Amino acid sequence: MGFLKRARVKSPWILHYCTGGCNGCDIEILACLTPLYDVERFGMLNIGNPKHADVLMITGPVNWKNREVLQRLYAQTPDPKVVIAVGACAATGGVFHNCVNTLGGVDKVIPVDVYVRGCAARPEAIIDGVVLALQKLEEKRSGGVAHAAGAR
Amino acid sequence: MTLTWPIIIAVAAVLLAPLVGGLLRGLDRKLTARMQGRLGPPLTQPFYDFGKLVGKSRSVSSRASIAWVWSYFLLTLTAFALFFLGQDLLVVFFILAFAGGALAFGALSARSPYARFGANRELLQMLSYEPILLLAAVAIYFQTGGFTVYSVFEANQPLLPFLPLVFVAVLVALGIKMRKSPFDIAASEHAHQELVRGVYTEYSGPHLALIELTHWYELVLLMAFLALFWVQPLWVGVLIAFAAYFLELWIDNIAARLRWSWMLGASWGVGIGFIVANLVLLSVLL
């Protein structure tokens, strides 16, 4: 149905979780909600409940402590869903690269659809990332791409 | 009265209410955004949210909660239809109370601390506003000589000049029922999440969509009840209802959340106090 598909793109609810970064990216994510960027224009809401979320926005390199939490959040989010790894840490581990306590990126634990670069990622880049993620969300509906190439 | 017209009105109201309720919620989000210096989502955003939730996969924590969600919806729909059939206000409010209870029981049937907290608070909210609504119906009885919606239309003067304090009390009840600050106790609004989503935490996808749809019916029903305070002519009442809605949004944006004990004190103290004062004044002056 056309309306349901359109509604999916027009109403992404975002769950934001930090897996142990420096909180720089988290501040930038929250900056997207302010009057300057106002992502609610596009129907985006910052939601605190994985069961209501469509987009998982993950920052930080993921450490051994919160690996399970991340897996659980992913499992609790109903399909269709997309995962955005925000910032250098979430993509590759960033400044925490090769630290013994970290896993070095969100894609070591859950499949990632979109990577947003930057340290910290700029709000404009984050919004671009969400737009890209929404295109993938639309494809998922029609049974297209399951997750990004290179994701584990 | 013949029964044909009320049935036509009720059917039309049941069919149109989701549209009106959704647009009202859209207006709410738009106005709230404007008050915060933002542009805000389009007016049709609630419909997109609804459509998206319908299309999500089903996942429930407890199968009993599905039954409770459906009873929440159907009971509210029953109360809604009875109101627009011109029936007894007391019956409408009793059914509405059971509907609210169903939402809380559905949350209680899942083993989640957040849903449990939310459900307890939802029940406390009902404890706060139910006496106001029931006493408002009693006040309407004193003024018009009947408990029915129909009797209000039969009366030859509007209610508001005689029941101004009752109207103020109903505004308090409206704030609690709309789950707006300072009374968003059971299901914290999106940005404040210490309860996650309180009573809605364990509902997701299509069931959450059903709850949203029920909220639209509830909202239209409450607005219609506010409009009842001035039905000669009806458009004045509609304007009053819209003014009250705007006032509620404004209060939502300037108020922080109260604790539940404050809510209970405020609603019982101000609400019941105002209604009783109004009835006493009415009997002394007239």
State residue B216 phi and psi, 5-degree precision: -65, -45
pLDDT of residue B196: 75
pLDDT of residue B273: 92
Separation of alpha carbons B87 and B150, rounded Å: 7
Instruction: Give the residue-averaged pLDDT of A52-61.
Output: 91
Interface contact B55, partner A, CB < 8 A: yes
Does A41 sit within 8 Å of B200, measured CB to CB?
no
Separation of alpha carbons B27 and B46, rounded Å: 10
Separation of alpha carbons B163 and B152, rounded Å: 13
Separation of alpha carbons A45 and A55, rounded Å: 10
Using CA atoms, how far residue A118 sits from A47, B62, B80, B135, B194, in Å, is: 23, 42, 52, 60, 30
Q: What is the dihedral of CA B89, B95, B99, B105, to 10 degrees?
A: 130
How many other CB atoms sit within 10 Å of the CB of residue B81?
20
- Peptide bond before residue B161 is cis, with ω within 30 degrees of 0: no
Selecting from A11, A38, A78 the residue whose C-beta is nearest the C-beta of B204 gives A78
Using CA atoms, how far residue B243 sits from A11, B31, B196, B240, in Å, is: 29, 13, 31, 5
Does A38 sit within 8 Å of B33, measured CB to CB?
yes
Query: Is residue A143 very low, low, confident or very high in pLDDT (cuts 50, 70, 90)?
Result: very low
pLDDT of residue A141: 57
Label residues B248-276 b or e (16+ Cβ within 10 Å = b): bbeebeeeebbebeebeebbbebbeebbe
Q: For the residues of B150-200, what is the DSSP string, one character each?
A: HHHHHSSS-STTT-HHHHHHHHHHHHHHTT-TTS--SS--TT--TTTTGGG
- Peptide bond before residue B182 is cis, with ω within 30 degrees of 0: yes
Q: What does pTM read for this prediction?
A: 0.89
Does A4 sit within 8 Å of B52, measured CB to CB?
yes
For the purposes of burial, counting CB atoms within 10 Å of the CB of B58, is it exposed (0-12), middle (13-18) or buried (19 or more)?
exposed
Instruction: Give the residue-averaged pLDDT of A45-71.
Output: 89
Does B29 sit within 8 Å of A40, measured CB to CB?
yes
Closest by CA to A118, choosing from A33, A14, A53, A26, is: A26
Domain span at B88: 4-285
Per-residue three-class SS string for B226-261: HHCCCCCCHHHHHHHHHHHHHHHHHHHHHCCCCCHH
Interface contact B48, partner A, CB < 8 A: yes
- A22–chain B nearest CA distance, Å: 22
pLDDT of residue A1: 54
Query: B25: which 2 tokens?
Result: 């919620």
Domain A2-141 has CATH 3.40.50.12280: yes
Separation of alpha carbons B177 and B126, rounded Å: 8
Q: What is the ipTM of this complex?
A: 0.84
CB A46 within 8 A of CB A16: yes
pLDDT of residue A146: 43
**Residue % of chain A over a pLDDT of 90:** 22
Most distant CA pair in chain B, distance: 61
pLDDT of residue B95: 94
Q: Which residues of chain B lie closer than 8 angstroms to A43, CB-CB?
A: 41-42, 45, 48-49
Residue keyed to tokens 């793109």: A9
pLDDT of residue B192: 63
Q: Which residues of chain B lie closer than 8 angstroms to A42, CB-CB?
A: 41
pLDDT of residue A150: 38
Beta bridge partners of A18: A59
Residue keyed to tokens 């985006």: A44
Selecting from B37, B40, B201 the residue whose C-beta is nearest the C-beta of A51 gives B201
Instruction: Please report, for chain A, the start and end positions of each structural domain, with discontinuous segments joined by +.
Output: 2-141
Selecting from B40, B48, B204 the residue whose C-beta is nearest the C-beta of A51 gives B204
pLDDT of residue B181: 78
- Peptide bond before residue B155 is cis, with ω within 30 degrees of 0: no
Instruction: Give the residue-averaged pLDDT of A15-39.
Output: 88
- Residue A58, classed as helix, strand or coil, is strand
Query: A83: which 2 tokens?
Result: 């995962």
Separation of alpha carbons A92 and A11, rounded Å: 29
Residues in A lying within 8 Å of B, measured between beta carbons:
3-8, 10-11, 33, 35, 38, 40-43, 45-49, 51-52, 54, 78-80, 141
Query: Is residue A10 very low, low, confident or very high in pLDDT (cuts 50, 70, 90)?
Result: confident
CB B248 within 8 A of CB B178: yes
Query: B248: which 2 tokens?
Result: 């509620």
Instruction: Give the residue-averaged pLDDT of A37-65.
Output: 88
- In the predicted model, residues of chain B with pLDDT beneath 50 are none
Q: pLDDT (tens digit, 9 = 90+) per residue, A109-124? A: 999 999 998 888 899 9
Does B52 sit within 8 Å of A52, measured CB to CB?
no
Continuous H helices in chain A: 2-10, 24-31, 67-76, 88-92, 123-141
Interface contact B58, partner A, CB < 8 A: yes
Of the residues B47, B56, B195, B201, the best mutation for testing chain A's interface (the one with the most A CB atoms within 10 Å of its CB) is: B56
Count contacts between A and B (CB, < 8 Å).
86
Beta bridge partners of A57: A16, A84
Selecting from A7, A52, A78 the residue whose C-beta is nearest the C-beta of B197 gives A52
pLDDT of residue B137: 92
Question: Looking at the 3D structure of chain B, how many domains does it have?
Answer: 1
